[in-house]
Amino acid sequence: MPVIDNLPPLREVIATHELAAKKSLGQNFLLDLNLTAKIARLAGDLTGADVLEIGPGPGGLTRGLLAEGARRVLAIEKDPRCMPALAEIAAAYPGRLQAINGDALTVNPLEHLTQPIKITANLPYNVGTELLVRWLTPPEWPPFWDSLTLMFQREVAQRIVATPGSKAYGRLALLAQWRTDARIVLELPPEAFSPPPKVNSAVVHLTALPAPRYPADPATLNKVVAAAFNQRRKMLRSALKSVSPDIEDHLNAVGIKPTERAEQVGLEAFCALARSLDAS
């Protein structure tokens, strides 16, 4: 096991603080500090940046982030049992780690952090997707964060980076790719975690673009994409009937065949359709 700090190995931390993994909190811990330092590096240059970490657990990734030079880390953890372990890390990195016992869905990180801000997380699948959608749909763009480096089950990661014509392509891909550059940067087998989950995992790195890739009103684009993919097997002329009675004219005007299905249509064309609807 590599030494990245003078703190005890993670297995010892888990034993000392009796952190038996809880299924209800989606706890699958990373115990290899070499790997957590690698994930921290995938977030880019951390020196000069504040990092928001969601779900630090016993602190493997937290230690990686601090060892890789993060200016400050705000770690939000729901499980109170993890707080003493996180306090030990805070003591080893004076003034650089603030750990909050709370639910990431309710704590406002902006009360504690200064830009530039990078977000990292290894979270349960449902919480991770809900937070990702929130981070991608703020009232204003650019958002408060510069990049997101997030662990997902591989199938969700593939949905984020999917391209037209693939099964994984849908709302999540369009939402992510409209305003970020999104890439899978690491794939991990179940054995990387303790206990091992049933599925493979992947880290996705998303960098916020200064402005959306193509102009469109967010609410209109969201309405169109939601309607199109809610009935993804239907031709767009029927799937989008509820959006506008003249939908065939709008589809033709922007060069989308009304007989096409949502999964064949790219981001640029969806944005053009949203603009056409708003112009009428």
Chain contacts with ligand SAM (rule: CB under 6 A): 25-30, 54-57, 60-61, 76-79, 103-105, 122-124, 127
Beta bridge partners of 201: 153, 188
Of 62, 129, 122, 68, give the one whose Cα is nearest residue 97: 62
Distance in angstroms (rounded) separating the CA atoms of residues 65 and 171: 31
225 CB burial (10 A radius; 0-12, 13-18, 19+): buried
CB contact at 8 A, 57 and 77? yes
Which single residue brings its beta carbon nearest to ligand SAM?
A: 55
Tokens of 216: 């469109």
CB contact at 8 A, 80 and 102? no
Distance in angstroms (rounded) separating the CA atoms of residues 225 and 274: 9
Tokens of 108: 């406002």
Nearer to ligand SAM, 192 or 271 (CB): 192
User: What are the DSSP calls for 231-252, one per residue?
Assistant: TTTSBHHHHTTTT-TTHHHHHH
CB contact at 8 A, 34 and 2? yes
Nearer to ligand SAM, 200 or 222 (CB): 200
Nearer to ligand SAM, 104 or 202 (CB): 104
b or e along 203-219 (b: 16 or more beta carbons within 10 Å of the residue's beta carbon)?
bbbbebeeebebebebe
Q: Residue 202 CB, nearest distance to ligand SAM (Å)?
A: 13
Q: Residue 140 CB, nearest distance to ligand SAM (Å)?
A: 24
Q: Residue 111 CB, nearest distance to ligand SAM (Å)?
A: 16
Nearer to ligand SAM, 11 or 167 (CB): 11
Q: Residue 4 CB, nearest distance to ligand SAM (Å)?
A: 14
Nearer to ligand SAM, 26 or 143 (CB): 26
User: Binding site for S-adenosyl-L-methionine: which residues?
Assistant: 28, 30, 55, 77, 103, 122
Nearer to ligand SAM, 30 or 273 (CB): 30
Q: Residue 153 CB, nearest distance to ligand SAM (Å)?
A: 11
Q: Residue 125 CB, nearest distance to ligand SAM (Å)?
A: 9
